[in-house]
Structure 1
Amino acid sequence: MTLTAKLLLLATAAQVLLTLIILVLMGRERVPRVMSGEIKVADIAVERSAYPLQARLLSNSFDNQFQLPVLFYVAALLTLFATATGWIDVLLAWLFVALRYVHAVIHVTTNRVHMRFAAYTAGLAVLAIFWLWLVLRLVVLAPSV
């Protein structure tokens, strides 16, 4: 495996790690409240409003890790298996993941919507460039069969 492929795989693992960190933090907020009886299971069976704000922020952030990142995972896997991974791929992948960390930190701390939206939009732009670059290489620049 080339160095660039390894770095792309590490970026993907860093995104998975972010998701797992948020999951653990969310569990630390939710489980003790349910176990102690502070929150009744019936009150959370359908919606999250019974949880305190921090638990809801973590839950929303966790859900968000299954939106844009899914498109990132597909692009990363296609890049790893269909092409020779290059430095542009690595740069775009790590930039996307860094922006996802920024977005998550804003989401679960200050939750300043304008800042969060800016981080989300920047991540979306990077992801769109990643996909455009991938399609360009696979469809336009690839030698014909």
Structure 2
Amino acid sequence: MSIQSILLPVFVEVALIFALCLWMIAARHGQPADPSEPARAKLISDCFSNQFEIPVLFFALVPLAIMTRKADLLFAVMSWIFVLSRLAHAGIHTTSNRQPHRGALWLLGAVTLAVMWIVFAIRILAAPL
């Protein structure tokens, strides 16, 4: 697996974080006469804050998998599932904010990331000394 293939999902997740940050800044400096702006700004702000919760475990895992040479095709596919679930979660969070859909996407990402950590741990612990 190439380093680019492994890092591309990370770059996409980082781009999401910066995009949400810029959007949050813009929303907070919107026209004060617009009564819907505070609610929109809160949704965007909450979504931005979410990017520093479970994705932190993803950002911790990727360099470990690279350094230990455990990042393979399965790792790349699961990385994309995680990141795409985060993109979809952010899309719902900042628009319709429908909890059942948002919750399902959050769960998909969380379970995917948990499986990534479990597979990584098994590969490390089962490796010959």
CA distance in 1, matches of 2:28, 2:118: 40
8 Å CA contact retained: 1:83, 1:138: no
Give the 3-state SS of the residue equivalent to 1:110 in structure 2: coil
Q: Give the TM-score taking structure 1 as reference length.
A: 0.82
Q: 2:25 aligns with which of 10, 16, 27?
A: 27
What's the offset of the Cα at 1:85?
2.0
Larger Rg: 1
Aligned with 1:17: secondary structure? helix
Which whole-Å deviations, capped at 9, do the CAs of 1:7-46 have from their partners, x for residues lacking one? 111111111001011111111111345xxxx49xxxxxxx
| Number of residue pairs the alignment of both structures matches | 126
What is the match of residue 143 of structure 1? 128
Alpha-carbon distance in 1 for matches of 2:14, 2:77: 18
Structure 2 residue 4 is matched with structure 1 residue 13? no
Query: Is 2:73 the counterpart of 1:73?
Result: no
Contact 2:17 2:51 in 1 (8 A): yes
Helix, strand or coil: the match of 1:52?
helix
**Residues of 1 paired with 2:11 and 2:49: CA distance?**
18
In 2, the alpha carbon distance for the partners of 1:84 and 1:132 equals 12
C-alpha RMSD of matched pairs (Å): 1.5
1:89-128 → structure 2 map (5 Å cutoff): 89-128=75-114
Q: CA–CA distance in 2 between the matches of 1:84 and 1:77?
A: 10
Contact map agreement 1:72 1:127 (CA 8 A) in 2: yes
Structure 1 unaligned regions, length at least 5: 40-50
Deviation by residue 1:91-112 (Cα, 9 ceiling, x = unmatched): 0101100000010000000000
Q: Give the Cα separation in 2 of the matches to 1:87 and 1:32.
A: 44
Match of 1:82 in 2: 68
8 Å contact from structure 2 (residues 70, 123) kept in 1: no
Cα separation, 2, equivalents of 1:32 and 1:120: 29
Separation in structure 1 between the aligned mates of residue 113 and residue 70 of structure 2, nearest angstrom: 19
